[in-house]
Chain A
């Protein structure tokens, strides 16, 4: 297996591991808010932080989901073709996906920069939005790395054939 593929696999696993704890944090925060609300003092900014935690959990787990083949694709057309043609199609698709993910990552960073410059913060806890948007951009970049690994792997196998 190619070094990029291995690296992307390990890197995406680490990000996913962090994302899992954001899910736990989300559960604890929301349940904590329900309990404290019973006593008349809910946790301020729960909704804002639930949004931030969800955004970070999703952003950081995108790449590992991709590495595990978790993003749904329709199989029934391509799987009827021979292996060589499948490999060519997969390389083309990986190339397109890589371009989209890199472009998205770049544009999300620019969007975060804009929000940073304009000083936009959340209403209740005054938390800057851009921090979480950078995390999402990073997740897209990591997913791009996973796709790059798959592309190199495919091309190498194609040359060997």
Chain B
């Protein structure tokens, strides 16, 4: 059997194992090991397995993941979400759909501290959804707005997806983080506009509109326990952008800062600290085991020549590069509906990155941001939209189809926002270029 054919058989075997509910990391490891053994030799495959597992686990670049994850879970356990939501509500609560808009602002800020879309969705959802229920907001609008807003953290730094993309493609994590800021804010504004349009067209979706809070009230809401946490975020991410910290140092300083602030503010107990640590080890083990599996799988794919064959095939197509990019993005959008974001990035980058960046000459930072944008849309698209399931876990009485019914407006807003970034790539690239 030719190497390429072996590669396709391996891909098929991988999909079968996935469908049978085998953990993704193990599926990639088994197929990668078997394929490498067949194409090279069993001894070389065993050696590759052991060394790749060790180098993935003992990677300084990837040690950023437990640090930012810890920072996020400490913030989550300290109850910062409630204070954020109060502040956001004071700031934008007077608009139509003010509570839903406040949840977008709270999600964006919490995502900036946390970096996990599911933790953001769960935290803000558990605070915003009861409030929206109290004021008779439509279930569909309420749940979908939280599910969509939860994904803002994928673009706003620190984003785990940017770390994985950066490590996989050897791009600067700091440049990726800074490139995500404007698109993240743009996506937040798009979602707020979507809420505004929906509630303007159908006022029954949100019966109550609050009077405008004074600037003093907004400032008081910001002062009450939020300023310290925001300062920690600014020191951590600011230090990274200024080149003072490595990403791991930024994460460690952020985690230590949140810990100190929450201990001084008496919002951290031993139980909460232990829970934050437990969630951190669980998330880190899940991600890094998957990274190790993906590296083993990628080594096999590389030897099978599938990525280079696809790249050559695409290069031979007499199509404009813009059209090829649209096809790749469509593939991401479809895969994003089926596969979770981290495995999606790990599996597809070795195939599509060489085509888009080396072959077609697109900017690697811009491509990373566009991929994250698509992933942010993917987390609310059926059938695997993870954020929808998280919201469903919080609002147990709301049927899943009600949540999915509400996400359409946000999907359209997200796609329009992506189109804008494709049409004007400078929106993404101008901030990282300033870093140079």
Instruction: Check A16 against B57 for contact (C-beta < 8 Å).
Output: no
A24 within 8 A of B: yes
Instruction: Check A23 against B284 for contact (C-beta < 8 Å).
Output: yes
B75 within 8 A of A: no
As a 0/1 sequence over residues 105 to 140 of chain A, the CB contacts with chain B under 8 angstroms (1 = contact) are 001101100000000000000000100110010000
As a 0/1 sequence over residues 51 to 66 of chain B, the CB contacts with chain A under 8 angstroms (1 = contact) are 1011001111011001
A34-B252, A71-B24, A74-B18 known; A65 and B49 CB under 8 Å?
A: no
A70 within 8 A of B: yes
Q: Which residue of chain B has the shortest Cβ distance to A71 in the bound complex?
A: B23
Query: A26-58: which have CB < 8 Å to B?
Result: 26-28, 30-31, 33-34, 47, 50-55, 57-58
> Which A residues lie within 8 Å of B66 (CB)?
23, 26, 54, 57
Instruction: Check A52 against B58 for contact (C-beta < 8 Å).
Output: yes
Instruction: Check A110 against B24 for contact (C-beta < 8 Å).
Output: no
Instruction: Check A65 against B282 for contact (C-beta < 8 Å).
Output: yes
Instruction: Check B51 against A31 for contact (C-beta < 8 Å).
Output: no
Question: Which one of B47, B252, B288, B342 contacts A26 once the chains associate, using CB atoms below 8 Å?
Answer: B252
A54-B59, A65-B281 known; A73 and B256 CB under 8 Å?
A: no
Count of chain B residues with a beta carbon within 8 Å of a chain A beta carbon: 56
> Which A residues lie within 8 Å of B342 (CB)?
72
> Which B residues lie within 8 Å of A92 (CB)?
20
Query: B253-288: which have CB < 8 Å to A?
Result: 253, 255-256, 274, 277-278, 280-286, 288
Pick the interface stretch among B25-33, B159-167, B363-371, B395-403: B25-33
Q: Which residue of chain A has the shortest Cβ distance to B286 in the bound complex?
A: A70
B227 within 8 A of A: no
Residue among B22, B245, B281, B284 with most chain A CB within 10 A: B281
Instruction: Check A136 against B53 for contact (C-beta < 8 Å).
Output: yes
CA distance A110 to B47 in the complex (A): 9
Instruction: Check A26 against B67 for contact (C-beta < 8 Å).
Output: yes
Shortest Cβ distance from B419 into chain A, in angstroms? 29
Instruction: Check B58 against A54 for contact (C-beta < 8 Å).
Output: yes
Instruction: Check A51 against B59 for contact (C-beta < 8 Å).
Output: yes
B201 within 8 A of A: no
Instruction: Check A104 against B50 for contact (C-beta < 8 Å).
Output: yes
Instruction: Check A73 against B53 for contact (C-beta < 8 Å).
Output: no
Query: B42-89: which have CB < 8 Å to A?
Result: 46-47, 49-51, 53-54, 57-60, 62-63, 66-67, 70
> Which A residues lie within 8 Å of B284 (CB)?
23, 57-58, 61
Question: Which one of A53, A62, A108 contacts B285 once the chains associate, using CB atoms below 8 Å?
Answer: A62
> Which B residues lie within 8 Å of A90 (CB)?
21
Instruction: Check B21 against A74 for contact (C-beta < 8 Å).
Output: yes
Instruction: Check B60 against A72 for contact (C-beta < 8 Å).
Output: no
> Which A residues lie within 8 Å of B277 (CB)?
20, 23-24
Instruction: Check A27 against B21 for contact (C-beta < 8 Å).
Output: no
Query: B325-355: which have CB < 8 Å to A?
Result: 338-340, 342-343
A30-B67, A74-B18 known; A108 and B24 CB under 8 Å?
A: no
Query: B216-265: which have CB < 8 Å to A?
Result: 245, 248-249, 252-253, 255-256
Residue among B17, B51, B57, B277 with most chain A CB within 10 A: B57
B384 within 8 A of A: yes
Residues of chain B having any CB pair with chain A under 8 Å: 17-26, 29-30, 33, 46-47, 49-51, 53-54, 57-60, 62-63, 66-67, 70, 245, 248-249, 252-253, 255-256, 274, 277-278, 280-286, 288-290, 338-340, 342-343, 383-384
Additional A-B contacts beyond A23-B66, A107-B50, A129-B54 (19; CB < 8 A): A16-B278, A16-B281, A20-B278, A20-B280, A23-B284, A26-B66, A27-B70, A30-B248, A30-B252, A34-B245, A51-B58, A51-B60, A53-B63, A61-B282, A61-B284, A65-B282, A77-B19, A89-B20, A100-B33
The 8 sampled A-B contact pairs (Cβ below 8 Å) are A20-B277, A23-B70, A24-B277, A34-B252, A58-B285, A62-B289, A76-B383, A100-B33
- CB-based closest 9 A-B pairs: A111-B50, A30-B252, A55-B58, A71-B23, A61-B281, A20-B277, A65-B285, A61-B285, A54-B63
